[in-house]
Amino acid sequence: MKKITRSPGALLSAVSLLAITVATSTFAQEAPAPAATASDVETVVVTGIRASQKRAVSIKRDAAQVVDAISSEDIGKFPDATISDSLQRIPGVQVRREAGEAGAVNIRGLPQVATFLNGEAFLGANSITNVQPNFGDIPSQLMMGAEVYKSATASQLGAGITGTVNLKTWKPFDLQKGLTVAGAVEGTYGNQTKEWEPTANGLISWRNDKFGVLLSVAKSDTTAANSYNGLNGDYGWAGKAGESWAFTQAVYDPATGKVNNGLAFSTGDQNGDGDTNDSFIAYQGWKAMDKQTRRDRTGVNLAGEWRINESFKLNAEYFHTEQTQWNNEVGLVAESKWSSWGWFKPLKTTDVGYQDLFSVQSALYNVQRISSYTEVSRFDSESDNFSLTLNYDNGGKLRYKARYLNAEAEQTRTNIYIDATLADQRQWGAGLGYYPGSSTPVATAPNGYSGLVPITVNNPGDGAAISFEGFDAARFGNLNNYAVDAISSENNYDRSADLEIFRFDGNYAFADDIDFDFGYRRLDRSVDNQAYDYLSPLYKAQSSAGPQNPGGNGCLVKWKASDVVLNQASACTAGDGTNFYTALAPTPLASLGSGVYMPISSFGDAAGIPSGYGINPEALSDPFGFVNGKFPGTVRWNNPGGSYGVDLTQSMSYLQMNLKGELVLPFKANFGVQIVDTDLTVQQNLVGAGGQYGASAADAGDTITSRSFTDVLPSFNVVADLNDSMKIRFGYAKNMTLLDLEQWGGAKSLTYALDTNGEFTVRGGSENGNPNLNPWRSTNYDVSFEWYNAPGSMLSVGAFYVEVESFVTSGSRQSLELDQTGGGSRVVTLTTPVQGAGGVLKGLEFNAKQAFTYLPGIWSNFGIDANYTYSPSTRPGKDLSGDDLEFPDNSKHQTNLALWYQNGPLQARVAYNYRSRRLVSENLLWGTPGLNLYQSPTEYVDASVSYEFRPGLTAYLQGSNLTEEKETYYMQWENQQAYQNLYERRVTVGLRAKF
């Protein structure tokens, strides 16, 4: 890939696209509609943006609660590239982009969002353990529409804290009688990936008056670029470097390969203020990566309906998704090998006004290792949702329906990473190693550079500029200088879930203006999460004290690295009787073959890095296959700290009264109550002694926690007609939503790193689960005013107030933990979920959907879909800036603006989305709580244009992320950058047919 620069002309191009559309409108005047016939009444004849907006407005106008909706423009044509992209156009809905596509969804700032499919729970492969929906594996072409319910009713069982998304698929009786066939083929091009990639979708449906069946299929295999530059590793590798202890004089001894007293350029006072009381935010490494995400996605929707007689109707639905996703990255890493915080000289800093702490904008780093780095994470996801519904309605007072739902989902993650170093490895004490067949020490990287390399990194806010001080840049371009330094496959998991629901809903009409809803729902859900690493047998074991290959072929090692020596006395050891072997034999990068290594020249938005060589991510598409091919006999080693099981049973019953009439104003209302009994069983693993050479700690048995709790959830909704075009709404509800299951089931997991003596010492860890945490509970209030001022148009303003009574937040505690090797121990910080003390979300929503049909001439063909959401949040506590803590993942401001044009066969749309900063994570600095990670505000521009050449045949052009938005993340202060993602511009050209 090539480095790309932001082009302000991209937004102008989008606007120009719309202008061209308007200019050509005189050649595409809409023909007068023929008079309707009896057969026309049964067919869906209105399509396009105008019809999509009209349906969405009608859903909102007719609802008994606060709801917004989106609708497909035609069969197989959702308004945006993904479901989540379209949902973000709804007021109060916030999304997170993943490789350019919207994925995870928030409503009014919280991720505790329920997902329904055609009115009942949906089990997705991306949401097996968590509550927050992620629609990344669901083809949008299968969808007819989606509704977002923001106020709850008693009859809506299993709703989210701040909202519920109901996905709606096509059914045979949505379409005309007889045979309907529709399909589309398209190609997508990314300006970084620079390849055209085909996708296709199709639908076939047949029905008569009694029976109908429909099959819809979507298939795609696309790759999107999302380049990266910033800190190495996750944001846990951030610390506070103090002048009095971190910045000590470096003493490097090439003979022994030891670095004494740190890596600093100078001791003491770093900013020249005359004291050594100051501290600087520090990272353990920095990297610039060319990242690509490939998604091989398939979706199937099968629906049937049998109208048995005038009273009974039977519906069957089957929805299947499967996706294989590869997250590939390759680039350059410069790091300190986790041996020092003060390995840099700050060049440009800012006093942040907190405990003599300084943020760093530019620094000169004393790098121990420069290497090319490749990592591949593969996700295989699959879900099946089956539903059978029997409806009874004979036109009398009693109506009812019984529904059975069975769903299964699974997801696996396998990961692999490889370092190819340019250093000779003595910089971090690895030195020379012993290997079978060699009686003398051998260099793993014989052509590696010696000494430490000073590099300057500037992060001015728009990419990064790097310079290599006095380093021979030609070394990057010589393949023979690289040697493989580490290979590992870790943090893998298998997840599976089962869901079974039986539900009965009834309605009894007590009078013309009063009826009652009542029902019962039983839900059984089980989740199993198994975490594991791959360990490989190396050499012949000399001792059986530690983990070994079951066949006795060698010591099992996770980190196959040149600085891991198999010499732990209490473990499996390997050597020639005098010297111990190193875990990775010398492996020149060139020896892997041209299909495995590749030239690399793209480093995202970072400038100043010479071209070099690295491992081709495509060679690692099967992580286990690669590791096992390199180290035959590789085995799966379970990680009990990350494994757990959760069984959940809920019994829900409800009674709801619906009434309509006229008091002061015409109105309709509903009020009722849910009673939810929850039985929860959590199986966690007790974690024993740590393993050797990266092996996870042993499983020391199980601990079972069983809990039960009951929630009584009242609700009330009323809508009143001020006149024929104006409405006011009010909603009140108490809500309860379950936690992410990992917050109940996850166990303790420790992290280790090599110290200067070659020992694996404990550095930190996490406790991911606490079975005694309470679910999310809240009290919600909504009020809104709506004005339906023209056909297919509306203006509305709403206010909401959400009082969160219980939730889970991130905390930490100090814990004495044993080192993995060496027999030592130390107090480390463990992150852990803790019970939140409550908080408030409140805000305003403004929404305008306007079709300007009442304007003269060409202006009648235009329309807008615009909204703004203001949603500040507060909860107990302060950050390092002294500001009140916000709810994670919430943006205070969000704006959407879409300008569209439709005239006969021609239509076009330009859409803009803005989201203000959001809190990503908390308490990042080691030993210093309060430092938070934020994402800077983002802006996205998309556009589309289509032309219907003849009825049923449409060509279309769609562009997403036209301005090549860059997502910037910073630590507490905007000038303390953490990392950046740069997403590519993508263009799709397609042809859609329907007959």
Question: In whole angstroms, what is the distance from residue 428 CA to residue 457 CA?
Answer: 21
Neighbours of 748 (CB within 10 A): 21
Rounded to an integer, the average pLDDT of 616-640 is 93
Question: In whole angstroms, what is the distance from residue 554 CA to residue 540 CA?
Answer: 4
Contact 90, 113 (CB under 8 A): no
Contact 844, 798 (CB under 8 A): yes
H helix and E strand count, the chain? 5, 52
Written in H, E and C, the secondary structure of 414-477 is: EEEEEEEECECCHHHCCCCEECCCCCCCECCCCCCECCCEEEEEECCCCCEEEEECCCCHHHHH
- pLDDT at residue 765 tops 50: yes
| Phi, psi of 617, rounded to the nearest 5 degrees | -60, -30
Confidence grade of residue 613 (pLDDT, cut at 50, 70, 90): very high
- pLDDT at residue 261 tops 70: no
Residue 864, both tokens: 């807008």
Model confidence over 851-880: pLDDT tens digits?
998 889 899 999 999 999 999 988 877 777
pTM attached to this predicted model: 0.87
- pLDDT at residue 836 tops 80: no
Give the chain's end-to-end CA distance (angstroms, integer). Answer: 41
β-pairing verdict for 357-367 and 279-283: parallel
- pLDDT at residue 552 tops 80: no
What is the residue whose two structure tokens read 């069975």? 406
Element (H, E) at 743: helix 741-745
Provide the pLDDT for residue 179.
Answer: 95
Confidence grade of residue 437 (pLDDT, cut at 50, 70, 90): confident
Q: Which of 50, 297, 266, 130 lies closest to 849, judged by CA?
A: 50
Confidence grade of residue 736 (pLDDT, cut at 50, 70, 90): very high
Residue 435's Cβ-count burial label (10 Å; 0-12, 13-18, 19+) is middle
Contact 321, 137 (CB under 8 A): yes
Rounded to an integer, the average pLDDT of 306-324 is 95
Question: In whole angstroms, what is the distance from residue 617 CA to residue 289 CA?
Answer: 12
Taking CA atoms, 841 is separated from 799, 805, 876, in Å, by 11, 11, 13
Confidence grade of residue 433 (pLDDT, cut at 50, 70, 90): confident
- pLDDT at residue 199 tops 50: yes
Provide the pLDDT for residue 811.
Answer: 72
Provide the pLDDT for residue 44.
Answer: 40
Question: In whole angstroms, what is the distance from residue 77 CA to residue 203 CA?
Answer: 12
Q: Which of 522, 502, 501 lies closest to 653, judged by CA?
A: 522
Rounded to an integer, the average pLDDT of 629-636 is 91
Any residues with CB less than 8 A from the CB of 250 and at least 6 apart, and which?
Answer: 259, 260, 261, 262, 263, 264, 265, 366, 452
Sequence letter at residue 264: A
Q: Which of 162-171, 639-648, 712-721, 824-833 has the highest mean pLDDT?
A: 712-721
Q: Which of 490, 489, 444, 532 lies closest to 620, judged by CA?
A: 489
Q: Is 708 helix (H, G, I), strand (E, B) or coil?
A: strand
Sign of CA dihedral 567, 568, 570, 574: negative
Sign of CA dihedral 356, 360, 365, 367: positive
Taking CA atoms, 682 is separated from 770, 852, 878, in Å, by 9, 56, 33
Query: What DSSP line would sit under 466-524, residue for residue?
Result: EEETT--GGGGG-GGG-EEEEEEEEEEEEEEEEEEEEEEEEEEEEETTEEEEEEEEEEE
Provide the pLDDT for residue 294.
Answer: 92
User: pLDDT exceeding 70 applies to what percent of the chain?
Assistant: 89
Question: In whole angstroms, what is the distance from residue 404 CA to residue 505 CA?
Answer: 12
CA atoms within 13 A on the CB side of 921: 15
Question: In whole angstroms, what is the distance from residue 52 CA to residue 737 CA?
Answer: 32
Q: What single-letter DSSP state applies at residue 206?
A: E
Contact 804, 866 (CB under 8 A): no
Beta-bridge partners for 807: none
Neighbours of 144 (CB within 10 A): 18
Q: Which of 202, 198, 177, 180 lies closest to 189, judged by CA?
A: 198
Question: In whole angstroms, what is the distance from residue 137 CA to residue 573 CA?
Answer: 45
Provide the pLDDT for residue 931.
Answer: 81
β-pairing verdict for 825-835 and 760-767: parallel
Rounded to an integer, the average pLDDT of 421-430 is 82
Confidence grade of residue 894 (pLDDT, cut at 50, 70, 90): very high
Rounded to an integer, the average pLDDT of 490-515 is 95
Query: What DSSP line would sit under 269-304, residue for residue?
Result: -SSSSS-S--EEEEESEEEEEEEEEEEEEEEEEEEE
Residue 823, both tokens: 């027999």
Contact 383, 321 (CB under 8 A): yes
| Phi, psi of 848, rounded to the nearest 5 degrees | -140, 120
Rounded to an integer, the average pLDDT of 771-795 is 91
Model confidence over 556-595: pLDDT tens digits?
899 999 888 888 766 788 888 788 889 988 899 999 988 8
Contact 546, 691 (CB under 8 A): yes
Model confidence over 23-50: pLDDT tens digits?
333 333 333 333 333 333 333 444 678 8
Any residues with CB less than 8 A from the CB of 438 and at least 6 apart, and which?
Answer: none
Model confidence over 96-131: pLDDT tens digits?
877 777 778 888 888 888 899 999 999 988 888 887
Lowest mean pLDDT among 299-303, 388-392, 584-588: 584-588
Q: Which of 970, 223, 291, 938 lies closest to 605, judged by CA?
A: 291
Sign of CA dihedral 99, 102, 107, 111: negative
Q: What single-letter DSSP state applies at residue 617?
A: G
Provide the pLDDT for residue 201.
Answer: 93
Q: Which of 364, 405, 354 lies closest to 384, judged by CA?
A: 405
Provide the pLDDT for residue 84.
Answer: 82
Provide the pLDDT for residue 253.
Answer: 56
Model confidence over 124-174: pLDDT tens digits?
888 888 877 788 788 888 889 889 999 999 999 998 888 899 999 999 999
Question: In whole angstroms, what is the distance from residue 690 CA to residue 760 CA?
Answer: 10
Question: In whole angstroms, what is the distance from residue 444 CA to residue 587 CA?
Answer: 7
Residue 197, both tokens: 């990639």
Sequence letter at residue 46: V
Rounded to an integer, the average pLDDT of 468-485 is 89
Average pLDDT value over all residues in the chain: 85
Residues in the chain: 995
| Phi, psi of 59, rounded to the nearest 5 degrees | -60, -45
Query: What DSSP line would sit under 389-410, residue for residue?
Result: EEEEE-SSSEEEEEEEEEEEEE
Lowest mean pLDDT among 10-14, 146-150, 717-721, 772-776: 10-14
Q: Which of 20-34, 102-116, 408-422, 741-755 has the highest mean pLDDT?
A: 408-422
Cα angle 857, 860, 861; round to 5:
110
Element (H, E) at 83: helix 83-87
Model confidence over 920-968: pLDDT tens digits?
888 777 656 678 889 999 999 999 999 999 988 999 999 988 988 888 9
Query: What DSSP line would sit under 8-76, residue for residue?
Result: THHHHHHHHHHHHHHHTGGGSPPPPPPPP-TGGGGS----HHHHHHHHHHHHHHH-SS-EEEEE-SBTT
Sign of CA dihedral 442, 445, 449, 450: negative
Question: In whole angstroms, what is the distance from residue 972 CA to residue 935 CA?
Answer: 10
Provide the pLDDT for residue 525.
Answer: 94
Model confidence over 899-931: pLDDT tens digits?
999 998 999 999 999 999 999 888 777 656 678
Provide the pLDDT for residue 16.
Answer: 36
Q: Which phi-psi region, left, alpha or beta, contains residue 904 (left: φ > 0; alpha: ψ -120 to 50)? A: left
- pLDDT at residue 11 tops 60: no
User: pLDDT exceeding 90 applies to what percent of the chain?
Assistant: 46
Residue 136, both tokens: 């990344």
Contact 813, 832 (CB under 8 A): yes
Q: Which of 284, 288, 280, 286 lies closest to 238, judged by CA?
A: 284
